Each structure stands twice: as C-alpha cells, then as structure tokens.
C-alpha cells in the first residue's frame, strides 16, 4: 500500500533549499481617551481631530504592519473606524484594515493590520475571570495568517495570535488583584486554545514591577510552553528607577490637563512574545535589538520627552508623540521566513489543488484524472464532508458556506491508495 503525503509528492526531484525573509513591524499604543470624553479629557484638551493628525505622523514614521491600540472610545465602533479612515489610511496609505469592534466598558482595544501582508482568520474575546465574574475590561484575541500565496497553496500557512489587553490601573491591593484576574483569564484561555500559532500579548499593563503577580502569571506559567517572554529581558522594579530609563513609556509630559504628568518614569506598555517567536520554530521570529519605546532616547528620566534635546525621532514625530498621548508606542520587528525549493526535472502526479483561503465556495481539482473520494476534517479530526470523484481533472465547486470559520484538512483518497492532503482556512 502506498501512502503519499503532500511533502513527499516529488518524483525525480533535485531540490535546493533557500530562505526568503519579510520583515513585519508590530506597534502597541495607548491612545489616551481617543474620542472618549471624561471629566478631565475634553474636546479642547484632547481634540480628536488633532490626534488623528498626530497619529498620521507617527504611523508614517514607524510604518507598522500590525497596530494594537488601547483607549479607543467604547462607542460602538465609530472611534475605531475614524482612526482607520482619518489617520491610518492617509498619507498615500490605503492598506490598513481593522478587526471587529468589541467592548464592555467606555474604552476598548483594537488591532489594525496591513491587508497586503495579513488576513484576519478569527477573533475572540476574554471577558470573564476564572470564577466567571466580568473583567473590568475585556481582552481581545485576534488570529491572523501571513499572506503568502505560495505558502497558502502548499498548505503551510503561518499564523499569529495577538492578545491585546488594557489592565486595571492603580496601586491598591484591589487594583493588583483585578490585574491578576485579567492575566489569569488570559492564561486559562491560552491553555485551552493553544495551537500551532505564534503568540504575542501587548497592551498597557499598568504595572510598576516585574514581581507583580499579574505579570508573573504571564512569564512564569507552570506549563513552560505557554509562557510569554520579554524580548529585552528587562525584569525589574521599573517605576521611578533611572536605571531603566530606556524602557520607560510614560509619561511623555510633566504637565497637562488630560495627560498624566510626572515625566518619563514608568514602564506600563509591553509587547511580550511566546517562545515560538523567540526561537523561530513557526516561521516568525523576533529581530534582536528591535524592541523600541518610540521617542525614548533614555535621557528624559522624570522629564517630558520634548524637554531639552531628543534626537531619537524627527522633530515632527517627537511633537506628535508628545501631543498624541501620555504613553509612548512600543514597536518590535519580526522576520517571516520560509524555505523554498528549486526543482529540476520534477514531476508531480495526482496533485490536489485547492483554492486557499476559502469563503463560501471551495474550488478544487486533481492535476490528473483520478477515481477516489475527497474528505474534509476539522481541526479536531471530525469528518465534516465527503464526496466521490470519478476520473476528473476539472475544477469542482463545493459549498462550504455552512462551515465554521477556522482551519480544515482536505484529503483525497485515490482508488490506487494514494493519499494527498492539504490544509485550508475557511474565512
């Protein structure tokens, strides 16, 4: 009996492996009550139209492919869309898309992505603690896949899951307990849904030291494979500690009605990576030395970022950072790698071709006519579809509109006992 797995379909093949790399930039940013009016933040001291101009300048400088944000107004999605329309897709850009709106408070998170490089595969939210009480703010979960046609055709898709969190602010014991509830909820969800993705958690964590239980829950999980890691390995008591000036992200100001004051003396904003990204085991890896608090050149401890000289970014970007928020954005770079084969005198028999990703209709065919049957299983291995095929190499259309979004495994079982397999994504 011959069992031919997709990776072993080549006959008379001479392959030379080579690696191609794309670099993607991820940016995390607390936008300081963007379009959210409070007793201390108004349209006059936190003008949304002005902020959209500042954000345009910052995005033009950083050019991120993924933008995770906190403190958008929880207004049904209007603020999220206005940021996209009036700030991100400006300056010659038209390639950003936003994920779906979700909120359970006056402030919400959002993830924007470069549609030329990523596709949103699925989205979820974490809104309850382990004891089933509602969290102070929900935590958003976004899973995307890297848009590479050759990888999609081969079924070798690279996924990234991003958790975006805005943890409870404050220094009281109850504030810390609520933060711990939130990160415990993340890790419970993470354990229950951990798969073959790459993982990031980013956000405004509102913590002052790496010894806080909420932070330790992320980095010291009992299951080591689930842990998150600080790419720059700077565990410390960051608050008001000049030794860690280079990683401080708040406050950009020493005065101001809407913004927090006190100058640069806290590391509140983080991008943490799963081991997969640090070890490059799933096609995406952290670029060493790329972790940056944008606009922080480590010489403004307890000062505003515009006091004296700050040459870390151009002057217009520095002004935009100062006026946009009391937080600085954090950015990291990651390399996407894949191995190609250059094939000479190759012949691929009975090759199963499937369009990928699929929406409502899956188009598929055999390269050579074959008798057999097509089976589709979900990620749990359950058979959800089967159809017989008789000596055809024409395109076949299969209705998949009733399938849930996610990953599926397509197998063609030929009568000559060959088995050909593909992995697809249902959008």
Task: Write down the pLDDT at residue 330.
Answer: 98
Cα–Cα distance for residue pair 9/114, rounded to 1 Å? 34
CB atoms near residue 100 (< 10 Å): 13
Q: Are 252 and 327 in contact (CB under 8 A)?
A: yes
Closest CA to 58 of 287, 413, 305: 305
Helix extents (H) in 63-135 = 78-83
Cα–Cα distance for residue pair 128/285, rounded to 1 Å? 31
Q: What is the DSSP letter of 222?
A: S
| Residue whose structure tokens are 């860690």 | 244
CATH 3.60.10.10 fits 17-338, yes or no: yes
Cα–Cα distance for residue pair 259/68, rounded to 1 Å? 20
User: Which helix H or strand E contains 138, and what residues bound it?
Assistant: strand 134-146
Residues of the chain with pLDDT under 50: 1-18, 341-350
Task: Write down the pLDDT at residue 422.
Answer: 79
Task: Write down the pLDDT at residue 407.
Answer: 86
The pTM for the full model equals 0.78
* Count of alpha carbons within 13 angstroms of residue 53, beta-carbon side: 7
* Count of alpha carbons within 13 angstroms of residue 409, beta-carbon side: 14
Q: In CATH, what number does 349-426 get?
A: 2.60.40.1220
Q: For 164-180, write each residue's pLDDT tens digit.
A: 999 999 999 999 999 99
Question: Domain segments of the chain: what residues?
Answer: 17-338, 349-426
Q: Which two tokens stand for residue 147?
A: 């848009």
């Amino acid at each position: 009996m011959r069992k031919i797995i997709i990776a072993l379909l080549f006959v008379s093949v001479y392959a030379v492996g080579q690696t191609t790399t794309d670099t993607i930039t991820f940016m995390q940013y607390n936008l300081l009550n963007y379009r959210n009016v409070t007793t201390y933040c108004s349209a006059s001291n936190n003008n949304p139209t002005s902020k959209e101009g500042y954000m345009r300048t910052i995005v033009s400088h950083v050019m991120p492919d993924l933008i995770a944000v906190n403190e958008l107004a929880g207004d049904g999605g209007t603020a999220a869309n206005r940021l996209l329309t009036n700030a991100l897709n400006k300056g010659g850009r038209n390639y950003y898309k936003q994920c779906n709106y979700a909120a359970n408070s006056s402030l919400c998170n959002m993830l924007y992505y470069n549609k030329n490089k990523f596709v949103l595969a699925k989205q979820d939210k974490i809104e309850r603690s382990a004891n089933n009480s509602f969290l102070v703010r929900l935590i958003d979960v976004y899973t995307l896949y890297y848009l590479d046609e050759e990888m999609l055709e081969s079924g070798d898709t690279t996924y990234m899951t991003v958790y975006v969190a805005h943890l409870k602010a404050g220094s009281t014991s109850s504030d810390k307990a609520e933060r711990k509830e939130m990160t415990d909820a993340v890790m419970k969800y993470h354990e229950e849904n951990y798969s073959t993705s790459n993982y990031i958690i980013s956000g405004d964590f509102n913590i002052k030291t790496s010894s806080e239980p909420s932070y330790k829950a992320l980095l010291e999980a009992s299951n080591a494979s689930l842990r998150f890691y600080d790419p720059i390995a700077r565990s410390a008591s960051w608050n008001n500690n000049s030794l860690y000036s280079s990683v401080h992200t708040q406050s950009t100001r020493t005065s101001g009605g809407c913004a927090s004051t006190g100058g640069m003396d806290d590391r509140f904003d983080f991008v943490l990576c799963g081991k997969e990204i640090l070890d490059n085991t799933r096609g995406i890896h952290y670029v060493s030395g790329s972790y940056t608090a944008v606009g922080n050149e480590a010489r403004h401890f307890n000062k505003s970022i515009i006091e004296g000289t700050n040459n870390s970014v151009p002057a217009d970007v520095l002004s935009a950072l100062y006026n946009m928020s009391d937080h600085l954005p954090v950015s990291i770079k990651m390399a996407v790698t894949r191995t190609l084969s250059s094939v000479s005198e190759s012949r691929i028999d009975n090759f199963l071709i499937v369009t990928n990703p699929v929406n409502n209709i899956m188009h598929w065919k055999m390269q050579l006519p074959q008798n057999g049957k097509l089976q589709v299983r979900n990620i749990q291995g359950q058979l959800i579809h089967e159809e017989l095929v008789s000596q055809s190499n024409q395109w076949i259309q299969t209705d998949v509109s009733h399938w849930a979004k996610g990953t599926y495994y397509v197998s063609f079982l030929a009568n000559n006992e060959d088995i050909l397999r593909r992995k697809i994504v249902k959008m």
